[in-house]
Amino acid sequence: MLSLEHVSKVYETRRGPHKVFSDISFSLQRGRNIGILGRNGAGKSTMIRLISGAERPTTGRIERRMRISWPLAFAGAFAVNLTGLDNLKFICRVYGTDYKPLVPFIEEFTELGKFLREPVMHYSHGMMTRLAFALSMAIEFDCFLIDEAMVVGDVRFHERCHYELFEKRKDRAFILVSHDAEMVKRYCENAVVLSEGRLYTFPDVEAAYSFYMGSIALKPTLADK
């Protein structure tokens, strides 16, 4: 189980403290999933960092009683002068698994060919994303943390991600963070909305969807200004 209790996050800025959100509570059981909807700047990435443990909440508690992944397809933790294979070895050492049985899957999924043994700095953006996603799949987690904005690729890549994540691992929990309400509606059994520093919970995805669409419609967009 994952639970957040009265979590808030404040950043110090030059113009005083900036509160991203406050008093956020929700929990997620093993095998279940939830979508977190929010517009740009609503605090989605901050939420990801707090849940993954990269940053600590200013107040409140986050309790993790299942193994939660790092943000899916997150490529920021690559050491760029290490090869793709070295990065796989690093991840496997950190999580205490043997890398050798995973190599065929990584080779097959990333389609990197000989580049798997080349430094990551020579990779294209697409190659980097494929490797990052494959590494996320290499370690077994109870709950996957998905920042939709990080999983960018062509249709084929998306289909394969979909298969790996939502079909092969459909028994796992996941948290999908997105600004795309359609996507959350398609994949999640429940959803919450981050807006104006608060978290709104709903009885079902449908309600969250209409609230979120409504909140977008009401807010002035760039075009209005």
Partner 1 sequence: MRIKEFPFVRGLIVQSRVLHALLMRELITRFGRDNLGVLWLIGEPMLFTLGVATLWSAAGLHRGSGIPIVAIAVTGYSSVLMWRNATNQCGAGIEQNKSLLFHRSVLVIDVFLTRIALEIIGATSSFIVLSFVFIYVGWMRAPTNLLLVISGWFMLAWFGASLAMLVGAASAMSPLVHRLWHPVAYLLFPLSGAAFMVEWLPKDLQSVVLLLPMVHGVEIIRNGFFGTIVPTHYSASYMAECCLVLSLCGLFVVREASRRVEF
Nearer to partner 1, 54 or 213 (CB): 54
125 Cβ neighbours under 8 A, 6+ residues apart: none
Is 85 or 207 the residue whose CB approaches partner 1 more closely?
85
CA 18 centroid distance within chain: 23
Footprint of partner 1 (CB under 8 A): 11, 49, 52-56, 64, 67-68, 70-71, 74, 76-77, 79, 81-82, 86, 89-91, 93-96
Measured from the CB atom, the residue of 53 and 214 that comes closer to partner 1 is 53
Cβ distance to partner 1 smaller for residue 61 or 67 = 67
Shortest distance in whole angstroms from residue 67 CB to partner 1: 8
Burial of 45 (0-12, 13-18, 19+ CB in 10 A): middle
Asked if 63 and 133 count as a contact pair (C-beta separation under 8 A), the reply is no
**Min separation Cβ 70 and partner 1, Å:** 4
User: Cα separation of 196 and 193, whole Å?
Assistant: 10
Tokens coding 179: 């600004």
Least distance in angstroms from the C-beta of 52 to partner 1: 5
